[in-house]
Amino acid sequence: MDVDIPQKQGALVILCSTVCFMLADKVLDCGLIPKSAQTNTLSQWRYKNILLSLVHSFITGLLSVACFCWQPAMAIDMSSTYSWYSYYLVTFSIGYFIHDLFHMMLNDKSRQSYELVAHHIIVVSCFGLTIYIRRYVGYSVMALVVEVNSIFLHIRQIMQICGISREDNIYRLNSIVNIATYMIFRFPVWTWMIIWLVINQNLVPLPIYILGSISMAILAVMNIVLFWRLLRKDFLWKKGMGMHKKKE
């Protein structure tokens, strides 16, 4: 279904989304940060940042899956098949990533933030191109399906900020669901996106194909590294402690 949506409307949704996340950030300053996250300025900022990321992941993750349920053909024809709700979902997400990009650049100078800045620049560039040319919207929506897993990634981060132990039952439950959704919603999705790009390379203009290939390669490496970090910190740390005790 080829939908004729004026570019100005897409730009307006991006602007509104960015402003809404900026306002939400200010609202959280009005006594909505738990005491456990108020140990220092950085902890307060990280709590707000991750909570807004959780909101974005919850909305885009569930709605992206819904988009494919409502329009299954978009999973096969990710170049020209899309609907108005999938189009506006991508524009909404661009607004969030623009807000979060500047949020991190102004407040966080850690090494991990530089990785996320690179991720956000890639996402905004790719999503922005699809909205501008009004093609490959389905490809962008497919990329948003991984946000289902990001819900549990962000819950994990919030638990850490609030001082919940890795041995706590609720943390362990989230860790299991986190890894499970990682394997269900990240690896298969990225694999299909790479396969689709390879199969349809003759139908994709060379500049877009190069941009897509480089972006997918970078994001694939980042996802593998993140998966290993999760395994090491949430599941393998006990094994490491056990080996250390035996040596003692």
Please provide the average confidence, as pLDDT, over all residues in the chain. 89
In whole angstroms, give the CA distance from residue 212 to residue 194.
9
Over residues 168-189, the mean pLDDT reads 95
Joined together, the tokens standing for residue 138 give 């389905």
Mean pLDDT over residues 128-140, rounded? Answer: 93
Q: Does the pLDDT at position 14 exceed 90?
A: yes
Lowest model confidence (mean pLDDT) among 134-143, 170-179, 209-218: 209-218
CA angle at residue 113 from 111 to 119, to 5 degrees? 115
The highest-confidence range among 25-29, 93-97, 165-169, by mean pLDDT, is 93-97
181 Cβ contact list (under 8 Å, min separation 6) = 148, 149, 151, 152
**Encoding tokens for residue 98?**
């623009």
Report angle CA 74, 76, 79 to the nearest 5 degrees: 65
CB atoms within 10 A of CB 30: 7
Give me the pLDDT at residue 129, please.
93
pTM of structure = 0.90
* pLDDT in the model for residue 23: 95
Residue range 43-55: mean pLDDT, rounded = 93
